[in-house]
Amino acid sequence: MSPVSTGIFERLESEVRTYCRTYPTVFDTANNARQRDVGGREFIDFFGGAGVLNYGHNNARMRQAMIDYMMADGVAHSLDFYTRAKAEFMTRFEEVILKPRALDYKLQFPAPTGTNVVEAALKLARKATGRMDVIAFTNGFHGMSLGALACTGNAHFRDAAGVPLDHVLRVPYDGFAGEGRNSLDVLERELDDASSGIAPPAAFIVETIQAEGGVNVASREWLQSLQKLARKHGSLLIVDDIQVGNGRTGRFFSFEDHGIEPDLVCLAKGIGGYGTPLGLLLIRPEYDMWKPGEHTGTFRGQDLSFVAGAEALNYYKTPDFLDAVRGKGEGVKAKLESIAARKEGIRLRGRGMIYGLDFGSGERAAKVIKAAFETGLLIGGCGTDGRVLKFMSPLTIEDDTLSEGLDLLEQAVREAA
């Protein structure tokens, strides 16, 4: 079979495509943290499907679980019918994730992408409080559908909406107002003052680490202040853990070490395990106010995702997996600190197995991304003008592959400079 060229995509696919412009090759096979194109060239993957592939490409355990399920004629699509696959996923999620953390949530499966989960959370918060407005934060990213897009800060995405993006007030994220300044102080004064013109919102929606926004990390103290403010004014706290949940930070939930308990938690991407789509909204029981059928979606019954996702949850039965993630993360941090220290104007941010190298300009970062691709490394950009390189390898990456990839990144930084 002759290699596939990029011509078919350039001729027929919409101009909206993006990642393929950065990585102009046709990928063919993949295993864990390595991909190969149709010409046989190999790449180390530090992109990780933007958080989807936390357990790597073609995870053998999940693949076998899905094959076994399909060969037994397991139900593939089920809307919200009860199925064995969904029951096993929910049981494992309760036993492996919720109970050990003493968390009490109901589970809602909206349509299977992250933006669908955010839409459900926003709608439910407004229903529960009777309020319309939501407070979101600078540099936040929550999705491309209109409600989620209204909460997203990036002008490039917002400008494509075509309609007003209303009922969202945007305030500074932790650190946005400058070092040593708590961005919530002014907001608290406004909410306390009936003449400020700022009414208590239905919800605050926040990422503990803004992945697409530039790997901006909120402090424990700031997040606790945010939860206190939400409780004080009868607003719900929504944590969008779509990209940085599912073990990415070295904990299953990114907020576990921060002393907060969100009212609603948005999960997608990695929750499906294999890369199969799945969306999950966690709801504190007192806020599960839906009437039957008020929020639906044709593909909310993704049984292959339940099968793969249930197998993924087995990683968390013992502390070993997350211990290994944190250990790898320390190694990544040390290497990236070394790279940043040798080049003026680079700043490092992150935690666990998500880090961002801020080059200060999109042009500078783009040169590194291009050089990395040419050396056999896939790494993506994020943040304002794409100035931040975002490290998001699979959590299951082998130590030697991780080391090789970091060396390739170091080489790319040197060559691009």
Per-run averaged pLDDT (10 residues), the chain, 417 residues: 79 94 96 97 97 97 98 97 98 98 97 96 98 98 97 95 96 88 90 95 98 97 97 98 98 97 98 96 98 94 96 98 98 97 92 97 96 97 96 98 98 91
Q: To the nearest 5 percent, what fractions of the chain are helix, strand and coil?
A: 40, 15, 40
Exposure class string for 366-396: b at 16+ Cβ within 10 A, else e: bbbbebbbebbbbbbbbbbebbbbbbbbbbb
Amino acid 178: pLDDT? 80
* 342 vs 86: CA distance, rounded Å: 50
Task: Map residue 69 onto helix, strand or coil.
Answer: helix
Could you tell me the two tokens for 253? 């939930």
Nearest to 105 by CA among 287, 283, 281, 286: 283
- Token pair 């907001």 is found at 187
Give, in order, the Cα–Cα distances in Å from 194 to each of 82, 85, 191, 204: 48, 51, 7, 19
pLDDT in tens, 55-87: 999 999 999 999 999 999 999 999 999 999 999
Residue entry with tokens 């395990």: 273
- CA torsion through residues 14, 18, 22, 26, sign: negative
pTM over 0.85: yes
What is the 8-class DSSP label of residue 302?
Answer: B
- Exposed/middle/buried for residue 324 (C-beta within 10 Å: 0-12, 13-18, 19+): middle
Contact 91, 306 (CB under 8 A): no
Q: Any idea what DSSP says for residue 57? A: B
CB 265 within 8 A of CB 253: yes
Q: Which residue intervals of the chain bear CATH 3.90.1150.10?
A: 7-58+319-416
For the chain, give every residue range classified as CATH 3.40.640.10. 74-316
Say if residues 59 and 70 touch (Cβ distance below 8 Å). Answer: no
Q: Are strands 216-217 and 236-240 parallel, antiparallel or unpaired?
A: unpaired
- Homologous superfamily in CATH for domain 7-58+319-416: Aspartate Aminotransferase, domain 1 (3.90.1150.10)
- Report how far residue 395's alpha carbon sits from residue 310's, in angstroms, rounded to the nearest whole number: 17
Give the CATH fold of the 74-316 domain: Aspartate Aminotransferase; domain 2 (3.40.640)
Q: What is the pLDDT of residue 50?
A: 94
